[in-house]
Amino acid sequence: MEQLIKDLKLQIKEALNLEELSLEDFDADAPLFGDEGIGLDSIDVLEIIVLLEKEYGIRLANPKEGKAIFKSVRTIAEYVQANRKK
Amino acid sequence: MNIQVAGYGIICAIGNDASAVLESLKAGRTGIGPMHYLQSVHKELPVGEVKLSNADMLRMLGQDETTIISRTVLMGAIAIRQALEQAGIATEGKRVVVINGTTVGGMDVTEHFIRQISEEDDLLPLLKKHDCGSSTRQMADLAGLADAEVCTVSTACSSAVNAIILGSEMLKAGEADIVIAGGTEALSLFHLNGFNSLMILDKEQCRPFDKSRAGLNLGEGAAFLVLTHNLVKSEELRVKNNSHKLECMGNSDSSLLTPNSSLYIRGYGNRCDAFHQTASSEDGEGAYLAMCDALQMAGLKPEDIHYINAHGTGTPNNDASESAAIRRVFGEEIPPVSSTKGFTGHTTSASGAIETVICILALRHQFLPANLGWKEQDEACIRPYGNSTLINSKFKTGICTSVLCNSFGFGGNDSALVISSVPTGSSPEESRFKSEQLAEATILSADGELDGQALRQYISAGEARRMSLLMKASTLSSMQALREAGIECPDAIITATAYGMLETSEKFLNDMLEQGEETLSPTLFMQSTHNTLSSAIAIRLKCHGYNMTYSQGSDSLRWALRDAKRLIETGKARTVLVGLHDEATPTLQNIFRRMGKPVPPRLYSRSIILGRSPASD
């Protein structure tokens, strides 16, 4: 699980071009969206959906399904672990 | 001065000419169905294709059917020929201007041949027809208008309405005798996959304003209007207004509205939502302002509008935002509204012209087009007119003479038109003011390096992460020019660009060709449209004013400056930010080398602030 969280942090940082964010400061439990936390938006949701399909073979058909999954890096990791195809 | 519609042509999923379109509208027959001509792996996505092959269209235009010409160009030329034939006016010796709204240009040809082009020099000329400006030139030539001046407006999905607005402004200013304005856009793998990456395509038939709506269906097509100016004498106007009043009182026998009635572009508005690249604001500010401007110019009150052809794409976001805007303008008394995208699909850059022609047909033939697919009321949305076409509606008693047509695009480029059978009789527009240049800033970078310190002054790291080099350069030159002029927010923003967002478009296209039509980046696609630059600056400055993008090759800046001067001289704006922004990616530089042409710099961005000269106050 910890390795998966580490991988995801790196993949998200790269996919979203979060150059200024150091991996040490990237808290696995910090909210990804909204003003408190990382501050991502709806386009980032779509990019993360692309990332999950590319890296883990997970297909999300509806961005709305992602709301609960994309709360934090940890919730994404839990979802990936349960649903990954590769 | 009135802008009269002298003729119109249309080709789309529900018909190859106006009479076929009329028949489908009346019968409530959709043109959306399984993909036939577009060669995509996404067969699950229904589309509104024109039911003709490229060879069919080439034959219709008297061309050799093996010629390689973009479908965008072919459909546009067919619609223009129809419009000219209907107008039946001589163009010889007249100042004729063709104004085209398009975004994808020759993309259908480029995406098909790009791999071969990269190896075979013989195919290089195909790329010369890729950019919007060149495809518009080719379309005008094919339509028999080789002597006409041409201009391309590219504000994504509102392009065609903005082309009609520009044409009307040029006629009012006496810059042209005849304008042929509209838009054309063929389906391409590029934008089908782009919209798919944004997850806003419905796998079912689209259902605008319905509670279960889940996205749009893409369509293709073209429509053009022949516009002329018409000075209606005051006596004539009095007679027309009187007969209009008689008719409004229910005297339906002396029907003023016949299939041959004169129709006018009576009002229009172009505004920017200044909210987000791909989403509309909750209260629909841009749409609201555009509709208000259109009504004000038309000299009409909300209750004078008797039908609204909504933009109504079928996405949850657009329909809720547009409904909020319509409610703000019309209050409790909302006239019949329908989105006709359930018939045609969303024809993107062409949609504004296609829907304007649908409005014209509705006015002339007195029917209310259905909002196909609508079943259940959504509280967040207006209740559309109904899901079947009503023939011999209130139009018959002459109650309806004016309709509103909405057209919105990415980046919040929101426009609206009022089309009416009653002219206004206003006097010609006069130049009342003089314009002058207030400031200028230029960024030229041969290798793509930008001044990091200057960038950080205006662009935060969070913003920069999503900005391509051209976006950064255009933001920087714009902010520097505005600062020099001491202006925080200009009244209008106008961008000129020959090639637009090459870096992001090219990357998206390459990804699509290399990895296939899956897992493509939505960020790249949302930054591929030419109007990305103008709208990004509007979003930054929260500028809800006029927002326009020209893409006509090396003439782009000339068109942009002409527009800016017209806005200032007629008193519509006091300050205008005009930018010429272009980039040459390594691929484009290589193509120029292979063609033996001078290689353009990696980045060029020039921002000019025009203002009202104090001498003219």
Please say if the pLDDT value at position A73 is more than 90: yes
| Of B527, B404, B529, the residue nearest B468 (C-alpha) | B527
Nearest CA in chain B to A60: B199
The pLDDT tens digits of the residues spanning B16-35 come to 999 999 999 999 999 999 99
User: What's the pTM value of the predicted model, to 2 decimals?
Assistant: 0.95
Write down the pLDDT at residue B237.
52
Is residue B219 within 8 A of residue B347, CB to CB? The reply is yes
Query: Which position has the token pair 């019309």?
Result: B330
Is residue A38 within 8 A of residue A13, CB to CB? The reply is no
Q: Enter the tokens of residue B308.
A: 């609204």
| ipTM score over 0.95, yes or no | no
Q: What SS3 state is found at B293?
A: helix
Instruction: Give the mean model confidence (pLDDT) for residues B527-534.
Output: 97
Is residue B403 within 8 A of residue B419, CB to CB? The reply is yes
Instruction: Give the mean model confidence (pLDDT) for residues B382-403.
Output: 74
Other Cβ atoms less than 10 A from the Cβ of B59: the count is 13
Q: How far apart are CA B373 and CA B30, in angstroms?
A: 10
Is residue B537 within 8 A of residue B571, CB to CB? The reply is no
Residue scoring higher pLDDT (B254 or A51): A51
Write down the pLDDT at residue B356.
98
Nearest CA in chain B to A13: B465
| Contact yes or no for A43 and B277 at CB 8 A | yes
Q: Tell me if chain B has a CB within 8 Å of the CB of A20.
A: yes
The pLDDT tens digits of the residues spanning A40-71 come to 888 999 999 999 999 999 998 777 777 789 99
Please say if the pLDDT value at position B428 is more than 80: no
Q: How confident is the model at residue B107 (pLDDT cuts 50, 70, 90)?
A: very high
Nearest CA in chain A to B515: A54
* Mean pLDDT, chain A, integer: 90
Burial class (CB in 10 A: 0-12, 13-18, 19+), B231: exposed
Nearest CA in chain B to A39: B462
CATH of the domain at A68: 1.10.1200.10
| Contact yes or no for A18 and B465 at CB 8 A | yes
CA atoms within 13 A on the CB side of B262: 16
In this structure, chain B runs to a length of 617
Number of domains in chain A: 1
Is residue B70 within 8 A of residue B109, CB to CB? The reply is yes
Please say if the pLDDT value at position B255 is more than 50: no
Domain residues for the domain of A67 are 2-83
| Probe site for chain B from A14, A42, A60, A85 (most B CB atoms < 10 A) | A42
Beta partners for B48? B219
| Angle subtended at Cα B397 by Cα B394 and Cα B400, rounded to the nearest 5 degrees | 55
Q: Enter the tokens of residue B199.
A: 């997850």
Please say if the pLDDT value at position B617 is more than 60: no
| Contact yes or no for A43 and B199 at CB 8 A | no
Q: What SS3 state is found at B260?
A: coil
Cβ contacts of B328 within 8 Å, gap of 6 or more: B283, B284, B288
CB contacts of A46 in chain B (<8 Å) are 197-199, 522-523
Least confident of A20-24, B55-59, B412-416, B493-497: A20-24
- List A residues 53-72 in contact with B (Cβ-Cβ < 8 A): 53-54, 62-63
| Contact yes or no for B199 and A17 at CB 8 A | no
The pLDDT tens digits of the residues spanning B311-358 come to 999 999 999 999 999 999 999 999 999 999 999 999 999 999 999 999
Q: How far apart are CA B215 and CA B217, in angstroms?
A: 7
Highest mean pLDDT among A26-40, A54-68, B543-557: B543-557
B522 closest CB neighbour out of A18, A47, A54:
A47
| Probe site for chain A from B201, B465, B503, B528 (most A CB atoms < 10 A) | B465
| Contact yes or no for A46 and B518 at CB 8 A | no
Please say if the pLDDT value at position B105 is more than 60: yes
Q: How confident is the model at residue B423 (pLDDT cuts 50, 70, 90)?
A: confident
Q: How far apart are CA B183 and CA B171, in angstroms?
A: 18
Query: Which position has the token pair 């996919």?
Result: A15
Helices (H), B61-131: 71-87, 107-117, 124-127
